[in-house]
Chains A and B, each alone.
Chain A
Amino acid sequence: MRIFDPHIHMTARTTDDYQAMRAAGVQAVVEPAFWLGQPRTSVGSLTDYFDALIGWERFRAGQFGIAHHCTIALNPKEANDPRCLPVLDLLPRYLAKDGVVAVGEVGFDSMTAVEEDVFRRQLELAGAHALPALVHTPHRDKVAGTRRTLALVAEVGLDPGMVLVDHLNELTVDLVDDAGAWLGFSIYPDTKMDPARMVAVLQRRGLDRVLVNSAADWGSSDPLATARTAEAMLAAGFDEDQVDRVLWRNPVEFFGQSGRLLLDQLSNATPDAGQTFEGNSLLRGERVS
């Protein structure tokens, strides 16, 4: 089984997670730029974070045979901090890079006017850079936030096929489906979907334009939630080709629209934990040569 986790925050995860993910079949991931537990208060800390996504984290994933991509954006929560806003002017530099496969996560958190302005500007950036957009839907007031999201996409004039609306549930799936955008589901303990409910959604509406992710991050979450969902699909009577479609071909098709996937660099070679990135290996201590 091959798995592409289209939404996971690996900077918050351990090498044990990478190892377990690769053993479960995860061969590619997308790590969206988002907020951390601790708010950032300057442009520099955001760009250092972006640099880690295109540099160190990609290297770290590669050591475990996993192709790492990212999306870049100013997230909605930190969009409300005027000290972070100037990072918008720097985004084009990052959106031009290989491995940056979408603008994201954009969207709403508290549905403020500033959030909407920043959301709109970044949807326009996605259009200008021929990139898909990855949209976070809010934890609170999710249905209203999803409606406003879809209206904004239409106002900006983005092709809905270039938009992935994430963290959906039973109450928001049809709104996004009807708009023609891609449907993202996070299998995340307690607050989002679980494998059984995911399977029920798939049985009801089919596999078209559906992406399943773990959204694993610094909270209590499961980087193997994609594999658990694959198992639940098989147990419910879906065949392996259908599992492959949802957990590999669909994310490749969506993010492939960026032209910036790095899957040709996937190798089946034995990962070498002794390799270095800027001189830092995953091993600690002096290397004996």
Chain B
Amino acid sequence: MTNNDVLTPTQRQATAVALAGVRADPSSIRVRFPAAARTIARTTADPGDLGRFRAEDQVRLSLLETFAEVTSDQEALVQEIEDLYRYGDGDERRAVLLALSHLPIDDRGIEMVQDALRSNDPRLVVAALGDYGHQHLDPAAWRQGVLKCLFMGVPLDLITGLSSRLDQTLRDMVAAYAQERTAAGRAVPADAQRILDLSTDSTETES
């Protein structure tokens, strides 16, 4: 979900300057990353559009990729990414989560994904269920994440690989959730119904 087209030529130029700065002094990412939206590029369109890959996401991804290029020690790379996440605000954390699948860290970003899924911030939950979460979350955690989206009213379309990971266990969980809603006299969200209607012919329960 990356796209350099979200940046104007001027913003790409400013990004290039920032990337050169990270190459010259990798630790400068600690201030370049949080300042990226203000100093380089910001998508001002509807911040509630959770699925949109924003200009600042692209800049922050480039900063992280460049940092990874100049950091040969994976330990140091993971530590810096974790710190950017820990000391980030909601938008910065989201950008870290979206970048994880582009960084050479194998499964070592999983704790950040798990932290994001513990939050109730839709920005973070959606980003946690993107490409990296799709690749690395264990089935139980992934199913809980999907269920959490239903609770929070987050569109399931934003989850990477929903139909390929959907299994009978998740269908049962969603069915129980729908029953609970019905028993309480509340409407069943359309997304929940959609999961129940999806064919599971090809989806055996993952262990």
Residues of chain A whose beta carbon lies under 8 Å from any beta carbon of chain B = 47, 51, 54-55, 90, 92-98, 129, 259-260, 276-280, 288-289
Contacts and interface: CB of A to CB of B under 8 A. Distances in A.
Contacts, number: 47
A277 B34 CA distance: 20
Contacts of A280: 120
Contacts of A276: 120
B161 interface: no
B183 interface: no
B114 to A, nearest CB: 16
B152 A279 contact: yes
6 contacts: A51-B89, A55-B90, A90-B87, A94-B87, A129-B31, A260-B38
Contacts of B31: 92-93, 95-96, 129
Contact of B121 (A94, A96, A260, A279): A279
A131 to B, nearest CB: 12
B176 to A, nearest CB: 18
Contact of B87 (A93, A98, A278, A289): A93
Interface footprint category on B = 20 to 34
Given A279-B120, A288-B186, A93 B89 contact: no
A28 to B, nearest CB: 18
A96 B90 contact: no
B136 interface: no
Given A92-B30, A279-B119, 10 more contacts: A55-B90, A90-B87, A93-B31, A93-B34, A95-B31, A98-B37, A260-B38, A278-B121, A279-B121, A289-B186
Given A55-B89, A289-B187, A259 B38 contact: yes
Nearest to B187: A289
A55 to B, nearest CB: 6
A55 B35 CA distance: 16
Interface string B86-113: 0101100000000000000000000000
A38 B72 CA distance: 44
A278 B119 CA distance: 6
Nearest to A260: B38
A96 B186 contact: no
A97 B35 CA distance: 6
Contacts of B122: 279
Interface in B105-147: 119-122, 124
Nearest to A277: B121
A260 B31 CA distance: 14
Contacts of B155: none
Nearest to B185: A288
Given A260-B38, A279-B120, A289-B186, A54 B89 contact: yes
A94 B34 CA distance: 8
A92 B83 CA distance: 13
